[in-house]
Amino acid sequence: MEQITNVMEYEPIAKAILPKMVYDYYASGAEDQWTLQENRNAFSRILFRPRILVDVSNIETTTTILGFKISMPIMVAPTAMQKMAHPEGECATARATSAAGTIMTLSSWATSSVEEVASTGQGIHFFQLYAMKDRNVVVQLVKRAERAGFKAIVLTVDTPRLGRREADIKNRFALPPHLTLKNFEGLDLGKINRTNDSGLASYVAGQVDRSLSWKDVQWLQTITQLPIIVKGVLTAEDAKLVIEAGAAGIIVSNHGARQLDYVPATVMALEEVVKAAQGRVPVLMDGGIRRGTDAFKALALGAAGVFIGRPVVFSLAADGELGVRKVLQMLHDELELTMALSGCRTVKDITRNHVVTPWDPPRITPRL
């Protein structure tokens, strides 16, 4: 697929390949899908203020997240059930992410286990966690990720109930019978319903804990030494509470617009969270990243890094591991070019002054 020139070109290829139920599951958002569109549209309203005559003969895209040096501030978000996209699923994604020198986050609802992903190589892996009603299951999942060498726990907090994804309702979405949620194999599941063919909504609704609260973020720290990153923050108020609860990082996320429709695009919510965090913990972001220019804009607004989700599963469906590798390489190259054309030699050189947003006050042009 040498003719592919940007990550968005993989989606129509994936749509043609995948069963409708699977494509719709990956692609759709909640209800009217306004936020799904807004996650992309919001980036188009943020413009650049490039600086000129800077020596950009050498551009350095490397950065450090939670002490881990990575090749670029672009990482892989947790996306569920990747073997629906490709037989090698999460393992192919892990190999591609490792080859790119960046971080992969494995979904709790993966179709490959933490052990299988760990066996793919020396890549840096984070584990995304949903809090279950049965805390014993949570303990088992966390310990399993620890033993497999995962480096952080990403706690998703915006899903006390599953958002209304009407495409899944119409398609009667269910995990294909030849696949399983591998991280739950071999666990003592206690009261948890073992069936996985009753449709995603009823399956998840019966397991995810609707009573999850701030005390649980603190409890999670008592069962693991791994840093806890809280995913699903959209407001300054919650950012402050995340830090007070002892979390090591924040991911500004609206769950790929799959939960509550008509929340802001994540890039629109980013700056208020960054200001509330006051540099005490890294603030990361996902949602709508499709270009290196998008990543640059997020970094300029204070993000320490960004995560991509749908581009991974679409490229995985289209061309397996090679597709994911190409997506990560294209985004790296686009970010590098954007940095050069904006006068930024390193990631740290990217500042708020490199972008202009709709909410900026009017600039006063000095008299010459």
In this predicted model, what pLDDT tens digit does every residue of 18-68 receive, in sequence order?
999 999 999 999 999 999 999 999 999 999 999 999 999 999 999 999 999
**Pairing between β-strand 283-286 and β-strand 305-308 as defined by DSSP bridges:** parallel
pTM of the shown model? 0.94
- DSSP, collapsed to helix, strand or coil, labels residue 282 as coil
Eight-state DSSP code of residue 178 = T
CA distances from 123 to 61, 75, 96, 273, 362 (A): 18, 12, 9, 29, 45
Paired tokens of 254: 């609206």
**What pLDDT shows up at residue 198?**
38
Q: What are 289's two structure tokens?
A: 């990243």
Angle at 78 between CA 94 and CA 275, to 5 degrees: 120
Catalytic residues: 255
pLDDT tens for residues 173-227?
A: 988 988 988 998 877 766 555 454 433 334 544 678 888 999 999 999 999 999 9
CB-CB contact of 127 with 104 (8 Å): no
Rounded to the nearest 10 degrees, what angle do helices 10-17 and 310-342 cross at?
170
Rounded (10°) angle between helices 135-147 and 214-222: 50
Domain ranges of the chain: 7-356
* pLDDT digits 0-9 by tens, 306-353: 999 999 999 999 999 999 999 999 999 999 999 999 999 999 999 999
Taking the domain 7-356, which CATH number applies? 3.20.20.70
C-alpha atoms less than 13 angstroms from C-alpha of 280 in its C-beta half-sphere: 17
Q: Which residue has the tokens 């393992």?
A: 91
Q: How large is the average pLDDT for residues 92-118? A: 97
Burial degree of 156 (CB within 10 A; 0-12, 13-18, 19+)? buried
φ, ψ dihedrals at 220, nearest 5°: -60, -35
Q: Per-residue pLDDT averaged across 238-262, rounded?
A: 97
Q: What is the pLDDT of residues 127-174, one digit of tens each?
A: 999 988 888 889 999 999 999 999 999 999 999 888 999 999 999 998
From the list 154, 166, 155, the residue with the least C-alpha distance to 104 is 154
When computed from its CA atoms, the radius of gyration of the chain, rounded to whole angstroms, is 20
What's the pLDDT score for residue 208? 82
Annotation: binding site? 25, 78-80, 107, 128, 130, 156, 165, 231, 253, 255, 258, 286-290, 309-310
Query: Would you state the pLDDT for residue 32?
Result: 97
Pairing between β-strand 47-48 and β-strand 355-356 as defined by DSSP bridges = antiparallel
Residue in 72, 73, 75, 104 with CA at minimum distance from that of residue 91 = 104
How far is residue 7 CA from its own chain's centroid? Answer: 16
Q: Which amino acid belongs to residue 319?
A: D
Which residues carry a binding-site annotation for glyoxylate?
A: 25, 165, 255
Binding annotation for FMN: 78-80, 107, 128, 130, 156, 231, 253, 258, 286-290, 309-310
What was the pLDDT predicted at 191?
Answer: 54
Q: Is the four-CA dihedral 337, 338, 339, 343 of positive or negative sign?
A: positive
Residue 303 has what pLDDT? 98
